[in-house]
Amino acid sequence: MRRRHVLTLAAVGAVAAGCSDEDKAKPPPGSGSPATGQRPSLAAGGPAFPEGFAWGASTSAYQVEGAAAEDGRGPSVWDTFSHQAGRTRGGDTGDVAADHYHRVYEDLDLMKDLGLNSYRFSISWSRVLPEGRGALNAKGLDFYHRLVDGLLERKITPVATLFHWDTPQALQDKGGWERRDCAQWFADYAQQMFYSLGDKVSTWLTLNEPKSVVSLGYVAGVHAPGKKDRRLGDIVGHHLLLGHGLAVRAFRQTGRKGGIGAALNLSPVYAADDSAAARKQADALDLEENRRWLDPVLLGRYPDAWLDHQAAEVRAAIRDGDLATIGERTDLLAVQYYNPAYVSANGGRVVRHPTTQASWLEVYPDGLYDLLTRIKRDYGDIPLTITENGMPTVNDVRDDDRIAFLRDHFAAAHRAIQAGVKLQGFHVWSLLDNFEWAEGYSQRWGLIRVDRDTRDRRRKASAEWYRGVIARNGLDT
């Protein structure tokens, strides 16, 4: 229990393992009406996806790059955290990670070989700005030019995330996201990236999973910076969203073409039984898991019911005009889906479906359908792309369990498209086995195996299977 359970634990109480069979209080996955606008072509065999659908894979800088102290890179909070005793499994760090920094061309060829037409990566803020602000580190920036040029040469669309949890340590020393200033520091860095790479990168993601930063980094304290202070975490959450809005504004000001949005991890929440008390708990949890992030970004407001429960310090951090900034129009929403959340009448979490090596990852593909159709219903037709979904497995390269997992989630995504959801892409987490934060290298999430000692790459069965899906733009039967 190191990852996702923590938010719900903090929000609604203890995890209640096990559940009774009669509680099947989930909305039925309907097939809905045919897609509006997007027309899935029907190939022989399994379901086909719309033409031009983005098939991708995801990584993040600290998890794959390595080269932590090379070419002028400054440390981030994750360098600091992973080097502290007892923070990560086995004391693992991202010093070398998957050594992607040095093997970038090999990795680009692997992507090409898979047939990917989209690749979602993140920029290490402290590689391009070792102090977090000021003059750019040309050598660090060059790496991203090499990566992006290599993608474009291979006809793979770059999708760049600006913040995947690796706040520069120099800024953390000044208070990091706990300080309101950090939102502006982030927007300034973002603007430098739009100017530097914006003629080549046309899809930008501001924040990766602000919810995880709050719940894991500031409530449970199991991620960097390792604090346990919910109020502070909620203030950080607001500053992160403010940084998102300021970065979107900066993007518009640069006049760069393309689109920008946030990457949010969302979980459909279900009452574990039909009681009014369980439904009330589910509404409360939905506020924390979903609405507290979606409403400000897409509607420009926090839900009243969420605000009502915030401490005075948190409310004071929300200033006039902030919500207009946070709600600045975005062009897409990047959805990251791993698990549903079932909650009982007493507020305990109920685990209803099988889990994986990552105990928090409860496998429920229909949850993806429910999530995507709910976003359409409640927030309208903003284009969506899935930027993370996947599972770890202890099976080495014969990862048939991952194939089954992905097939079921692709099928759920396809049903959502048929129901009219404007889903434009699916990026599997992850391209490579990598540094899984507090779990170190103990969990392997990659389509491509990375040897722990030599860092040699080897395609897993799931990579071969995914290549087939991409080639036919659809599932097998």
Q: Quick check: 265 binds ligand FCB (CB under 6 A)?
A: yes
Least distance from C-beta 57 to ligand FCB, angstroms?
12
Answer for which of 150, 401, 436, 446 binds ligand FCB (CB under 6 A) is 436
Residue 438: closest CA among 1, 50, 146: 1
The site string for ligand FCB over 336-375 (x = CB under 6 A, - otherwise) reads: ----------------------------------------
The residue annotated as part of the active site, out of 65, 289, 362, 388, is: 388
Q: Is 62 in the site for ligand FCB (CB under 6 A)?
A: no
Tell me the closest approach of the beta carbon of residue 358 to ligand FCB, in angstroms.
7
x-or-dash string of contact with ligand FCB, 125-164, rule CB under 6 A = ----------------------------------------
* Min separation Cβ 263 and ligand FCB, Å: 8
With CA atoms as reference, report the closest residue to 258 among 299, 300, 210, 197. Answer: 197
Count of residues of this chain found to bind ligand FCB when the rule CB under 6 A is applied: 11
Q: Does 99 bind ligand FCB (CB under 6 A)?
A: no
Smallest distance, ligand FCB to C-beta of residue 401, A: 16
Determine whether 51 is an active site residue.
no
Which residue among 38, 169, 208, 290 contacts ligand FCB (CB under 6 A)?
Answer: 208
- Considering the complex, state which of residue 273 and residue 436 has its C-beta at the smaller distance from ligand FCB: 436
Cβ at position 429, least distance to ligand FCB in Å: 5
Least Å distance between CB 165 and ligand FCB?
7
Q: Which residues contact 39 (CB under 8 A, 6 or more apart)?
A: 50
Which residue number, 203 or 212, has a Cβ lying nearer to ligand FCB? 212
CB of 458 to ligand FCB, least distance (A): 20
Nearer to ligand FCB (CB atom), residue 216 or residue 470: 216
Q: Is 405 in the site for ligand FCB (CB under 6 A)?
A: no
Q: Per CB under 6 A, which region of 188-196, 205-213, 232-240, 368-376 contacts ligand FCB?
A: 205-213
Which residue in the set 189, 337, 437, 441 belongs to the binding site for ligand FCB (CB under 6 A)?
437
Nearer to ligand FCB, 322 or 388 (CB): 388
Q: Considering only residues 8, 38, 60, 118, which one is a binding residue for ligand FCB as defined by CB under 6 A?
A: 60
Instruction: For residue 212, state whether it binds ligand FCB (rule: CB under 6 A).
Output: yes
Q: How far is the CB of 208 from ligand FCB (least distance, A)?
A: 5
**Residue 288 appears among annotated catalytic residues:** no
Catalytically annotated residue among 65, 178, 209, 289 = 209
Per residue, what are the HEC states of the chain? Answer: CCCCHHHHHHHHCCEECCCCCCCCCCCCCCCCCCCCCCCCCCCCCCCECCCCCEEEEECCHHHHCCCCCCCCCCCEHHHHHHCCCCCCHHHCCCCCCCCCCCCHHHHHHHHHHHCCCEEEEECCHHHHCCCCCCCCCHHHHHHHHHHHHHHHHCCCEEEEEEECCCCEHHHHCCCHHHCCHHHHHHHHHHHHHHHHHCCCCCEEEEEECHHHHHHHHHHCCCCCCCCCCHHHHHHHHHHHHHHHHHHHHHHHHHCCCCEEEEEEECCCEEECCCCHHHHHHHHHHHHHHHHHHHHHHHHCCCCHHHHCCCCHHHHHHCCCCHHHHHCCCCCCEEEECCCCEEECCCCCEECCCCECCCCCCECCHHHHHHHHHHHHHHHCCCCEEEEECCCCCCCCCCCHHHHHHHHHHHHHHHHHHHCCCCEEEEEEECCECCCCHHHCCCCCCCCEEECCCCCCEEECHHHHHHHHHHHHCECCC
Closest to 333 in 3D by CA, of 280, 388, 253: 388
Rule CB under 6 A: which residues touch ligand FCB? 60, 63, 208-209, 212, 265, 388, 429, 436-437, 445
Active site residues: 209, 388
